[in-house]
Structure 1
Amino acid sequence: MAIELQISCINKSDRTNAYERITHVGGVQNGSRWKQRQAEAIKNIEDKKYSFYTSVGGHVRNVVVASRNGVKYLKTEADRDTPDNLLSLPECP
């Protein structure tokens, strides 16, 4: 069974392409900060090691792996085709 983690922050590159912009996701679990590269988070979801979610404004959304033009990226289920929910999170320290 996958370990469930809340993503509460991200790091972004200078890229303008929203599908390639997130470099890292992170949060706090049991009082400790965690942070993973987006590629690592994608692999962990695909391997069912971790599942991720966001909670913004009282709305909890699962984070899933999507692909556009052969590029895998993370998005919330509620985003349909844009990763805006994740992109709106604050920067990770």
Structure 2
Amino acid sequence: MANRVRIRCINKTDRMNPHERIKNVGGQNADGGRWKQSVDQTVREIESREWEFFVTEGGRTVDVIVATHNGNKYIKTTADGIQPDNLLSLPECP
């Protein structure tokens, strides 16, 4: 069974392409400590089924999945179409 964790923040690049704009995601551990990792690591963990990630949007839980656009893997929420807006709307990670 995969570990499940909430993404609470992101770090963006200066790229305009929404599929390449997120470089890191992060959150808070159960002990209150912070975590942050690259999108590439997040993609690997989702694909290995070791971890599942989600965001909370308007009081509901939305899963984060791996998608591919023009041969490049990126993450988005299941509620998003092609644009990963739910993730892009999260605050910046420290």
Common fold, TM-score beyond 0.5?
yes
Which position in structure 2 is the counterpart of 1:55? 56
Q: Percent identity?
A: 52
Q: After superposition, what is the alpha-carbon deviation per residue over 1:21-53, rounded to whole angstroms, capped at 9, x for unaligned?
A: 100000002111111100000000001111000
What is the rounded CA distance, in whole Å, between the counterparts of 2:83 and 2:65 in structure 1? 12
TM-score (norm 2): 0.96
RMSD in angstroms over aligned alpha carbons?
0.7
Q: Structure 1 unaligned segments of length 5 or more: list them.
A: none
Aligned length: 93
Q: Does 1:32 align with 2:37?
A: no
What is the rounded CA distance, in whole Å, between the counterparts of 1:80 and 1:59 in structure 2? 17
Q: Deviation of residue 56 (structure 1)?
A: 2.1
What is the rounded CA distance, in whole Å, between the counterparts of 1:29 and 1:3 in structure 2? 12
Q: Report SS of the residue matched to 1:79.
A: coil
TM-score (norm 1): 0.97
Q: Which runs of 4+ in 1 moved over 4 A?
A: none
Q: Structure 2 unaligned segments of length 5 or more: list them.
A: none
Q: Deviation of residue 80 (structure 1)?
A: 1.8
Q: Report SS of the residue matched to 1:43.
A: helix
Which position in structure 2 is the counterpart of 1:5? 5
Q: Does 1:15 align with 2:5?
A: no
